[in-house]
Structure 1
Amino acid sequence: MIEKEQVCELFCGAGGMGLGFSRFFDISYAVDFKKQAVETYQSNHFETQVRQQDVRDITGCYHDFDGLTGVIGGPPCQGSSIMNTKRCADDPRNALMFEYMRLVDEIRPRFYVMENVPGVSKKIKEDVIKLGKMAGYDVKSIYLNAAEYGAAQTRKRWIVVGTRGKSWHMPGTQPAKTVREAFSDINENWGLMQSSEKTLNNLKNSTSMEWTPMTKGGKFKHLIRLDFEKPSPAVVNVKKVYMVHPTEDRNISLAEAAALQGFPPGYQWKGTESEIAQMIANAMPAELAASIAGSFSTHQATVQTELIRGIT
């Protein structure tokens, strides 16, 4: 049996990216600033050393990360997300991408993978790519739709991959899961939203498969009804917007939102429902992460056939 190579996950969040990469790699270390994210990650990734720490206080120069094959992670993206109506180029969260690249340069893994929203400014994208090249990596910057890699949602992500030794090539696409398939394994439908009678009436009248305002003439597009036979749109914080169930007049539950992100039914969540909703929204779809992970791993030939549908 071939021993799995080791990777470190920065900005690990609840563990969507780690869930996909753990199919092919051992996640030796995981780091996040938020207590509820660290507790959630540790509750599901028992073999990983999870640290609650600010990445700005971490250095890769003291041999703490020796032996790693890869560094993965998704720095906070709310400063660049189109769902953030107050976003700006100077949002301090955008600077965390450069902290990620600093650690890559200090740790010197064989490869790194950084994921973020497509809305990151052109200047920041150019600078991130330049830093990777200056550190000696062959850098690929691409946009991927999670639905094209087996996920149950059309979540588009900006992916930056750096490799040393050989150029990286993305594996072939996979059929998307439908909302029905994603919901089929849910055992307990926890985290149901409480809504007023007025809100429920608005949801009842929702038939659109596009983002629309809650009420006629409303300013913000924050209501959409899902379709059982299609993948969902990108999962967002369902405590703040309405992703209406395909056949029931209600917002989807936290369990359903997590399923759309590729989290298995038995995944353990820590924190308040509001904190959990945000962690789910921030996650990278596990199926997309697994597809990327498989393109690096020496295990690819033996487990590629169970890559997408078999995440547990």
Structure 2
Amino acid sequence: MKKINFIDIFCGAGGLSFSFKNRKHDLKLAVDIDKNSIETLKKNFPLIKDKIVNDDIKKIIKNTKYNKFKNKIDLLMGGPPCQGFSTANRQNILNDPRNDLYKYFLEFAKIIKPKFILIENVIGIKNKAKDILNKLENLNYLGDFRVLQASDFGIPQNRKRVFFFAVQKKYNAKHKIKKFFSLLDNFKIDCRQSVLEDALYNLRSLKSKKIKNDRFNEYYESGLNVEKIKHYKSNSYLKNINNNKKIKYIYNHKARYNNPRDIEIFSKLPQGENSTHSSIKNIMPYKSRNNIFKDKYYKLDNKKVSKTITSHMKFDCNMYIHPTQSRGLTPREAARIQSFPDDYFFEGTISQCYAQIGNAVPPLLSKYLCMAIEQIND
């Protein structure tokens, strides 16, 4: 297998980079403006800390020291912050400054001229697909895109994201693009389907934290940031995301604070039901606006895939109620649903951890993206 030299812009906590690194490819540079994400990446890839940079893409493209990568990079990849295109965004999407961040990504591509380009984003980016493909064409690339569903690749989550893939025209681009997406279709056939209970398997039961805004103390009953495991039990999904490694510690398995009313709602709501269910009619605080807030509360169903893990969890986890415990999901549970291995540690407050996890590309999906690129990287 030919080694891939790659750069990850808007790298976040490293979901996209993880499998490329894990498969022994060479990360030359990872950049993100979020300090906590960068600290997470450095924590999990300590041997390449000097290649992980906390900076703004607008400054990166003006820094001539990165010109050294020109014509020396096989793959430039990344996920420009996507909230401006999110269908869940209730703000003025047209004027959101984040809408233009993909242009800076392409500007960096123009500078370093990688062989391949991979861009991940939310479904809303399809509105800009023609512009992105035209800009790639002007840079002498041929590109295409697909919507990939995470659950098709054995990830227990309903998560649809757009992936653009482009190849410099001189590298038999049309053939490689066709083969890349064909390989991904083939991988899906062999993937074992997983559901929520596969991801939550054998994590210790917790209760909500009892003290609000208590950021500095930990309590065993509500979970610990680092907990040693005496007898780790696994299943096929966990063996897959952990690459069959022996797990000695569970990280970031901490429940956040919930008020008594929410805990009562969590306990009464059946799995798979939302705010409109009759079981919580008498205590539902938003029942007069059910048409707006029907998903204000949602209890996940153990036998189905999870709803999309998003950065909204940093505000509350009321839309991500644990199926059998009266609390929201912990960062570790969200990370498992995203297919991060159990020994992947997230730096920052609990809210910052949720944001990093929700914004990430699932590592198990990145593995298949990596395998497809390996097979066309001749």
Bin of the TM-score, shorter chain as denominator length: 0.7 to 0.9
- Equivalence for 1:288: 365
- Equivalence for 2:160: 156
- Equivalence for 1:274: 351
Q: Say which SS state the counterpart of residue 147 (structure 1) adopts.
A: helix
Q: Which letter does structure 2 place at the counterpart of 1:177?
A: S
Q: Which letter does structure 2 place at the counterpart of 1:222?
A: K
Q: Say which SS state the counterpart of residue 258 (structure 1) adopts.
A: helix
> In 1, distance between residues paired with 2:198 and 2:58?
40
Note if contact 1:28-1:47 (Cα within 8 Å) is conserved in structure 2. no
Structure 2: segments with no counterpart, 5+ residues: 204-249, 277-283
Q: Which has the larger radius of gyration?
A: 2
1:201 aligns with 2:264: yes
Q: Say which SS state the counterpart of residue 95 (structure 2) adopts.
A: coil
> Which of 65, 68, 76 is the matching residue for 1:64?
68
> In 2, distance between residues paired with 1:76 and 1:282?
8
> In 1, distance between residues paired with 2:142 and 2:153?
23
- Equivalence for 2:40: 40
> Which of 258, 268, 289 is the matching residue for 2:335?
258
Write 1 or 2 for the structure with the bigger share of helix.
2
Q: Say which SS state the counterpart of residue 226 (structure 1) adopts.
A: coil
Q: Which letter does structure 2 place at the counterpart of 1:202?
A: I
Q: How does 1:169-188 map to 2 (within 5 A)?
A: 169-170=180-181, 171=184, 172=186, 173=188, 174-184=191-201, 186=203, 187=250
> In 2, distance between residues paired with 1:266 and 1:272?
18
Change (3 A) 1:80 1:45: same
- Equivalence for 1:232: 306
1:188 is displaced (CA, Å) by 5.4
1:189 is displaced (CA, Å) by 6.3
Change (3 A) 1:131 1:189: closer
1:17 aligns with 2:21: no
Q: Say which SS state the counterpart of residue 163 (structure 2) adopts.
A: strand
Change (3 A) 1:131 1:145: same
Note if contact 1:38-1:51 (Cα within 8 Å) is conserved in structure 2. yes
Residues matched between the structures, number: 298
Q: Say which SS state the counterpart of residue 166 (structure 2) adopts.
A: strand
- Equivalence for 1:306: none
Q: Deviations over 1:254-311 (max 9, x none)?
A: 11011111111111211111111111111111111111111011599xxxxxxxxxxx
> In 2, distance between residues paired with 1:142 and 1:232?
22
> Which of 84, 89, 106 is the matching residue for 1:84?
89
Q: Say which SS state the counterpart of residue 7 (structure 1) adopts.
A: strand
Structure 1: segments with no counterpart, 5+ residues: 301-312
Change (3 A) 1:14 1:189: closer
- Equivalence for 2:229: none
Larger relative contact order, structure 1 or 2 (CA cutoff 8 Å, min sep 6): 1
1:178 is displaced (CA, Å) by 1.7
> In 2, distance between residues paired with 1:39 and 1:239?
18
TM-score by length of 1: 0.88
> In 2, distance between residues paired with 1:210 and 1:110?
47
> In 1, distance between residues paired with 2:157 and 2:100?
28
Greater mean deviation of Cα atoms: 220-229 or 251-260: 220-229
Change (3 A) 1:276 1:189: closer
> In 2, distance between residues paired with 1:185 and 1:111?
40
Percent identity over the alignment is 27
1:53 aligns with 2:52: no
Greater mean deviation of Cα atoms: 167-176 or 275-284: 167-176
> In 2, distance between residues paired with 1:193 and 1:296?
40
TM-score by length of 2: 0.73
Note if contact 1:68-1:109 (Cα within 8 Å) is conserved in structure 2. yes
Change (3 A) 1:229 1:3: same
Change (3 A) 1:283 1:188: closer
Q: Which letter does structure 2 place at the counterpart of 1:20?
A: S
RMSD over aligned Cα atoms: 2.2
- Equivalence for 2:6: 7
Greater mean deviation of Cα atoms: 86-95 or 221-230: 221-230
